[in-house]
Amino acid sequence: MSTAFNIPHRDTASLNKEFALGAETEFGGIVYRYVQAGAAISTSVNEPYALAIDEAEQALKLTAPLALAGHRIGFAPRAIIPDNAYFWARMKGVFPIRVAADTAADVRLRVAVAGGGRLSSASLTASGAQIMGVVITAAASTSTSADDLNAQTIRTAIAGPLTAIIGGVTLA
């Protein structure tokens, strides 16, 4: 990892490449990795999705097959991220992530069956991919009030080194 420095535009995405893909740095207690969207990731600032980051530093919304393929796991910023945009993925630290409704706090999370990029506390048999190294600090809400629709499934996460596992076998 490079020396810690203030990352300009760390909470946005750009179609202009500003750093080498795969560059990592730490700022404010969060480890960031510079990646490129392999497809559109988010259309609003309310979608800080879980990501699968391949060896070419291409990021996609995390799905069970991508997690089980052994890709790096990170999280998108709360930004609009179109296809081919460059951005700083969150790799480790405390930051907001998008989870499935009814996701419990302080438990192991798994890749949600529906809605790529979301994590869930649902049964392991539902997706087959458990993500080690991340928990949310407050349970997600199932509220459907107009004021809560965007915030109901965005929760603060504490993430360390992230790994996907299946049947006790760790995938790096």
Per-residue pLDDT tens over the stretch 57-90: 999 999 888 888 889 999 999 999 999 999 999 9
State the average pLDDT over residues 127-150: 66
Task: Note whether residue 6 is domain-resident.
Answer: no
Integer Cα distance of 62 and 118 in angstroms: 7
Task: Note whether residue 1 is domain-resident.
Answer: no
Task: Note whether residue 72 is domain-resident.
Answer: yes
pLDDT for 3: 52
Integer Cα distance of 45 and 63 in angstroms: 20
Whether residue 124 has pLDDT greater than 80? no
Q: Report the candidate in 77, 93, 17, 68 with the shortest Cα–Cα distance to residue 172.
A: 68
Whether residue 4 has pLDDT greater than 50? yes
pLDDT for 145: 43
Share of the chain above pLDDT 70, in %: 80
What is the enclosing helix (H) or strand (E) of 156? strand 154-166
pTM for the whole structure: 0.84
Supply the range of the domain harboring residue 69: 13-166
Integer Cα distance of 5 and 159 in angstroms: 20
Res. 123 pLDDT band, cuts 50 70 90: low
pLDDT for 14: 92
Cα dist from 61 to 21, 142, 165, whole Å: 18, 22, 18
Task: Note whether residue 7 is domain-resident.
Answer: no
Please, what's the largest Cα pairwise distance for the chain?
44
Task: Note whether residue 23 is domain-resident.
Answer: yes
Whether residue 24 has pLDDT greater than 50? yes
What is the enclosing helix (H) or strand (E) of 52? strand 50-53
Based on the structure, what is the number of domains in the chain? 1
Task: Note whether residue 37 is domain-resident.
Answer: yes
Task: Note whether residue 50 is domain-resident.
Answer: yes
Integer Cα distance of 27 and 112 in angstroms: 29
